[in-house]
Amino acid sequence: MKYDAEVKISLKKGMLNPEAATIQRALALLKYQVENTETLQIIKFSIEGDSEDIVRQKVDEMCQKLLCNPVIHNYEIGITPED
């Protein structure tokens, strides 16, 4: 069975985020005052597996090995059956 996977990756609290800081400064120059700016990376793909649990395990392994650095990143995994 095919599943759609979505991984949302963000920096852990306390990690420097120069991209978010730049965005916040640029918005301030445009007279938009925002606080607590952070960036989020979303990766979507299709994957095959026997069950949602097995697919979730595979995607978690992908996150641990390649998609993010667990030392500095948090990640959320969303799995839905493909229509």
Whether the per-residue pLDDT at 83 is higher than 90: the answer is: no
Domain ranges of the chain: 2-81
The total of other beta-carbon atoms located within 10 Å of residue 24's CB is 17
Query: What CATH code is assigned to 2-81?
Result: 3.30.1280.10
Is 3 within 8 Å of 81 (Cβ atoms)? yes
pLDDT tens, residue by residue, 29-79: 999 999 888 999 999 999 999 999 999 999 999 999 999 999 999 999 999
Q: Output the pTM of the full model.
A: 0.86
Q: How far apart are CA 48 and CA 39, in angstroms?
A: 29
For residue 47, what are the β-bridge partners?
Answer: 3
Residue 54 tokens read as 């097995």
Residue 24 — pLDDT band, cuts 50, 70, 90? very high
Q: Name the burial class of residue 18, with classes exposed (0-12), middle (13-18) and buried (19+) by CB atoms within 10 angstroms of its CB.
A: exposed
